[in-house]
C-alpha cells in the first residue's frame, strides 16, 4: 500500500516531461530514504482539517531533513557546472536531477537514495476495448458492488465532507454526473478549484474524456445512476495530461 501511494503521488507531482530513454539518461528522479511515519498524520480521527494540516507539516519537515545532504551536494555540483539543474519535491520526498550519466550514476550510490526513476513524459494508454457496463436495478454500476462500495455507504460513508482531485486530461464540468459536486459551483473560488496551464480556461473542460472518466469513477452520480465510489464528495481538478502541447 505504501509503495502504491508513493507511485500515485509521484505521477501527480512530477510532470517535467523529460525525453530521457533510460534510468542512466540525463534526467532522473531520486527517492530519498525516510524512517519517519508520514501518512498517519492524515488519519487523525474526528478532525480532517487538523489531520491534513499535520500530514502536510510532516511531509515538509521530512523532506527538509532527509533531502539536506543531497541538496548540499547538488548545490555544489550545479555551481561547478557538473549538473544542469535539480528540483526538490516535498510531497513525495524526491529530487529531480538533470546532468551527465556519470554524475547520475555516482549520486545513485548514495546511502540516502532508495530508488531511481526515469523522469519520463506522461502519456495516456488507450484501452484494449470499450463497451457499455451493465447497470444494476438498484441504480449503481456493477463494479461498485465488486469493491464493496454500497456496504460502506450503508455505514454512512459516501464521501460527504471530503474533497477529491485529479490531474488528468481535464474534467467536463457540465457533465450531469459531475456538475453538482464541482467545488467551484459550491461557493469556492473557481481559481482554487480548476487549473489549466495550457489554454487557461476558467471552467473545467475535457477534450479527451479520460479525466472525466476517472473523476466519474471517484464521485460520479446523477438522479438515475451512481458510478462513483464516493458520490457525496466534491471535486477539483487540473487539466495537465495529453493536452497536445507536451508536459513541461
Interval 96-144: pLDDT, tens? 999 999 999 999 999 999 999 988 776 777 766 666 554 443 577 778 8
Lowest mean pLDDT among 8-17, 30-39, 60-69, 174-183: 8-17
**Average pLDDT in the chain:** 81
pTM: 0.62
208-228: average pLDDT: 90
Top pLDDT among 156 and 74 is at 74
How many CB atoms are located within 10 Å of the residue 205 CB?
A: 19
Query: What confidence score (pLDDT) does residue 53 get?
Result: 81
Q: Which helix (DSSP H) or strand (DSSP E) does residue 125 occupy?
A: none
Angstrom distance (rounded) from CA 122 to CA 119:
9
What percent of the chain is modeled with pLDDT above 90? Answer: 52
Cα of 102 vs its chain's centroid, Å: 31
pLDDT of 241 > 70? The answer is yes
Query: What confidence score (pLDDT) does residue 19 get?
Result: 39
> What nine digits make up the cell of 26?
540525463
147-151: average pLDDT: 89
Interval 151-197: pLDDT, tens? 989 888 899 989 999 999 999 999 999 999 999 999 999 999 999 98
Query: What confidence score (pLDDT) does residue 23 get?
Result: 41
Query: What confidence score (pLDDT) does residue 2 get?
Result: 36
Query: What confidence score (pLDDT) does residue 243 get?
Result: 67
Angstrom distance (rounded) from CA 212 to CA 123:
16
pLDDT of 66 > 90? The answer is yes
E strands, the chain, where?
27-32, 85-89, 94-98, 113-118, 163-168, 194-195, 234-239
Lowest mean pLDDT among 139-148, 153-162, 228-237, 238-247: 238-247
Amino acid at each position: 500500500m505504501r509503495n502504491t501511494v508513493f507511485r500515485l503521488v509521484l505521477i501527480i507531482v512530477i510532470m517535467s516531461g523529460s525525453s530521457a530513454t533510460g534510468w542512466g539518461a540525463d534526467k532522473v528522479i531520486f527517492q530519498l530514504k525516510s524512517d519517519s511515519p508520514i501518512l498517519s498524520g492524515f488519519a487523525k480521527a474526528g478532525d480532517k482539517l487538523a489531520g491534513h494540516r499535520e500530514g502536510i507539516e510532516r511531509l515538509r519537515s521530512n523532506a527538509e531533513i532527509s533531502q539536506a545532504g543531497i541538496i548540499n551536494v547538488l548545490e555544489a555540483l550545479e555551481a561547478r557546472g557538473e549538473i544542469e539543474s535539480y528540483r526538490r519535491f516535498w510531497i513525495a520526498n524526491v529530487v529531480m536531477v538533470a546532468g551527465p550519466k556519470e554524475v547520475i550514476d555516482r549520486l545513485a550510490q548514495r546511502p540516502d537514495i532508495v530508488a531511481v526513476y526515469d523522469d519520463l513524459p506522461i502519456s495516456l494508454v488507450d484501452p484494449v476495448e470499450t463497451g457499455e457496463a451493465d447497470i444494476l436495478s438498484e441504480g449503481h454500476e456493477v463494479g461498485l458492488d465488486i469493491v464493496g462500495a454500497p456496504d460502506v455507504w450503508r455505514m454512512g460513508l459516501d464521501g460527504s465532507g471530503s474533497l477529491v482531485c485529479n490531474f488528468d486530461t481535464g474534467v467536463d464540468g457540465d457533465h450531469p454526473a459531475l456538475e453538482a459536486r464541482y467545488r467551484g459551483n459550491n461557493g469556492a473560488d473557481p481559481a482554487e478549484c480548476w487549473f489549466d496551464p495550457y489554454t487557461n480556461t476558467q471552467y473545467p473542460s475535457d477534450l479527451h474524456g479520460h479525466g472525466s472518466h476517472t473523476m466519474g469513477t471517484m464521485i460520479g452520480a446523477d438522479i438515475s445512476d451512481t458510478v462513483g465510489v464516493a458520490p457525496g464528495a466534491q471535486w477539483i481538478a487540473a487539466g495537465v495530461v495529453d493536452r497536445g502541447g507536451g508536459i513541461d
